[in-house]
Amino acid sequence: MEAVHFDNVRYSYREEGGEYAVNGVTLTVREGEFVAVLGRNGSGKSTLAKLINALLEPTSGTVTVFGMDTLDEKKTFEIRKNAGMVFQNPDNQTVASIVEDDVAFGPENIGLPREEIGKRIDFALKAVGMEQFRHATPSRLSGGQKQRIAIAGVLAILPKIMILDESTAMLDPKGRREVMEVVRRLNKEQGMTVILITHFMEEALQADRAIVMHNGEVVMDGAPEEIFARSEELESYNLTLPRAAYICKKLQEAGMSVGNAFTAEELAEEICGSLQKG
Amino acid sequence: MMNDVTFGQYYPAKSFVHSMDPRAKIVLSIAYIVAIFLANNFFGLAAVTLFLVIAVAFSRVPAGSVLRSVKMILFVIVFTAVLNLFFYSSSDELHVLVKWWVITISWESIINMIFLAMRLFLLVLGTSVLTLTTTPVALTDGIESLLTPLKWIRFPVHELALIMSIALRFIPTLIDETNRIVSAQKARGANFETGGLIKRAKAMIPVLVPLLVSAFRRAEDLGDAMDARCYSGSKGRTKYKKLTFGWRDAIGLLLLAGLITGVVFLNIYFGGKFAILNYFL
C-alpha cells in the first residue's frame, strides 16, 4: 500500500514564487519501506520531510499520506498520528523534564485514557531500550539517549511512518549507531515505514532504497548499492561514497580484482578473496 | 555547572513530603508564608521554624541542600537587614544607641533587623522545601489544577501551565548554552572578569545576543516538534499523571492549620516583637 505519495510537488519559502526548495517532486513510498533521502545542505531534503506531516503545505501539487491530502486541515491531526517525525536537535524536541512525562506528551495530545498512556510508555521505552531511564531527566542523558527518548515520544503515538529529519547529525558515532540500530529494528520487526533524511552515506546502506535530492529535485532513486555504483553522478551532486565503497573503488582503479563492496565487512571479504585468488 | 542553582532544583528521594499532592504542598507553602507574616513576635517565628524543621525532617532532603538555597539571595537579605538597621524609624519612642548624620541605630532597629532577616530566611527555606520535593512537572500540574476555576472566565490555564513547564525544562539547556557562548567569546578575546560594572555589563552583550537568537530558534524547533506530536491545545487532551489528595496531605494541612492558630495565640499572648525589650531594658 502507498504510505506517502508526492504528486508534482513544489514548495517555496517565499510567498510569491521565487526559488523552489522542493521543485516538482513526484514520489511514492510504500508501506514498510525503509527509504533514505540523501542530499547536501539546502538540497530540499528537510523541506520534503516537513511536507509529509503537514508542517509545511505544498505551494503546488499534492502530498498524500495513506490517501489523506495534507492540504485538508481536517485531516492534519490524523496525518500527524500516522506520520511521526524526529528532528535534528534532541534538546529542542523534549517538552518535559522527566522522560516518562515527555513520552506521555503525544498520547496525551491524542486524548488517550491514562491506563493506555502507561502501556504506550512501557512499549515505547522498551522499543528504544531506555526502560531503565523512565524517571530520569533528559538534560542529563547523552545525545544518543536523548534522541532515543525523542523516538520513543513519537513511537508512543503508534505511527505507521517514522520520519527522521537528520536525527543523527548532531550525535557522536556511538549515539549514531544507537539510533540507527533502533530505527532498523523498528523497520524490520514492526514493519514501520521509515523515511530517513541524512547526509551520512553509511546510514543509507541500511535502507532498502535511497533517494538523492539536488536543488529541490529528486535526481537519483534506487537501491543504495545501485546509487553508490554511479559514483561520478553522485559526486556531481556534491556527495561522496561511503568510505569503504570509496576505498573499494580506488582499489579497483589501481587494478586490484575486487568486486563492489559498500561496508567495511564486505570490503574486507572482497580483499581477502582477491588475495587468496592472487 | 548547575551546582549553584539549588533554588528550583528537584532533590529526588522517597519521603512523606515527596509523595504529598503538589496542590496540597502549594497551598501549604502559601499558608506557611501567611504564617510568617502573621507572626509579630519571636515566639511566633520560633513556631514557624519548628514547623519548617519538621517539614525538612520528613522530606529526607539533607539540611545542607535546603540551606544552600539561601546562598543565592543572601546578599538581598544582608542588604535589607543593614538598611533596616540604619534607617529604621518609628513613631514609638526609641532606645537609641548611636545617632550619626542620617543614621540611627537603636535597640528597636536591631530587633527589627533580626526579625526581618529571620522572616526572609524562613520564607526562602520554606519555599525551597516545596521546590526541592516537587518536580517542576508536578508543580505546574498542581498550579494548573489549582487555577482550574479561572477557566470559567476563559483564562488560558492549560497554556500558562505548559509555558511554565517548558520554561523550567529549558533552564538547564539555556545555562549550558550560555556557558558555551561565554567560552566561545573568551576564546576570541572577550573579557568578562575585569573592568567596572558598566564595562562588564557591556561585555555581556555579545553573550546575550546569540543566546536570544538561539532561544528563538529553539522555540521554533520546539513548536514544530510539538505540532508533529499532535499538539493542538487543551481541547481533547488527557493527562497521564493524576493528582490525588491523600492522608498525608490531610495531615499536612491539619498541622499547618495548627501552626497558624498557634501563631495567632502567641501574637495575642506575647504582644509585638519589641515586647522582648521589656525583659532586658
Please give the grid coordinates belonging to residue A216. Answer: 529541490
CA proximity to B143, closest of B128, B160, B155: B160
Asked whether residue B9 carries a pLDDT value surpassing 80, the answer given is no
For B188-212, the pLDDT digits (tens) are: 888 877 778 888 888 888 899 999 9
For B217-272, the pLDDT digits (tens) are: 999 999 999 999 999 888 888 888 878 888 888 888 888 888 888 888 888 888 77
Instruction: Please give the pLDDT value at position A278.
Output: 65
- The answer to whether the Cβ–Cβ distance between A94 and B169 falls below 8 Å is yes
Chain A: closest CA distance from residue B228 (Å): 6
Chain A: closest CA distance from residue B227 (Å): 7
Asked whether residue B5 carries a pLDDT value surpassing 60, the answer given is no
Q: Is any Cβ of chain A less than 8 angstroms from the Cβ of B221?
A: yes
- The answer to whether the Cβ–Cβ distance between B166 and A81 falls below 8 Å is no
Q: Which domains does chain A have, with CATH numbers?
A: 2-241 (3.40.50.300)
Chain B: closest CA distance from residue A106 (Å): 5
B232 interaction partners in chain A (CB closer than 8 Å): 77, 109
- The answer to whether the Cβ–Cβ distance between B238 and A93 falls below 8 Å is no
Interface with chain B: mutation pick from A76, A87, A139, A170, highest number of B CBs within 10 Å: A139
Instruction: Please give the pLDDT value at position B281.
Output: 66
Which one-letter DSSP state was computed for residue B100? E
- The answer to whether the Cβ–Cβ distance between A111 and B238 falls below 8 Å is yes
pLDDT by 10s per residue, chain A, length 278: 889 999 999 999 887 667 889 999 999 999 999 999 999 888 899 999 999 999 999 999 999 999 999 999 899 999 999 999 999 998 899 888 889 989 999 999 999 999 999 999 999 999 888 999 998 888 888 889 999 999 999 999 999 999 999 998 888 888 888 889 999 999 999 899 999 999 888 888 889 999 999 999 999 999 998 898 888 898 899 888 888 888 888 888 888 888 888 888 888 888 888 888 76
Chain B: closest CA distance from residue A70 (Å): 13
- Sign of the dihedral defined by the CA atoms of residues B49, B51, B53, B55, in that order: negative
Chain B: closest CA distance from residue A137 (Å): 9
For B134-171, the pLDDT digits (tens) are: 877 788 888 888 898 888 888 888 888 888 888 878 88
Please give the grid coordinates belonging to residue A122. Answer: 512501557
Q: Is any Cβ of chain A less than 8 angstroms from the Cβ of B19?
A: no
Query: Where exactly are the structural domains of chain B?
Result: 22-146+243-280, 158-228
- The answer to whether the Cβ–Cβ distance between B232 and A112 falls below 8 Å is no
Interface with chain A: mutation pick from B159, B230, B237, highest number of A CBs within 10 Å: B230
Which of B169, B232, B239 is the closest to A95 by Cβ? B169
- The answer to whether the Cβ–Cβ distance between B168 and A118 falls below 8 Å is no
Instruction: Please give the pLDDT value at position B1.
Output: 33
Nearest chain B residue to A87 by CA: give it: B225
Asked whether residue B110 carries a pLDDT value surpassing 80, the answer given is yes
Q: Within a 13 Å sphere around the CA of B121, how many CA atoms are in the beta-carbon half?
A: 16
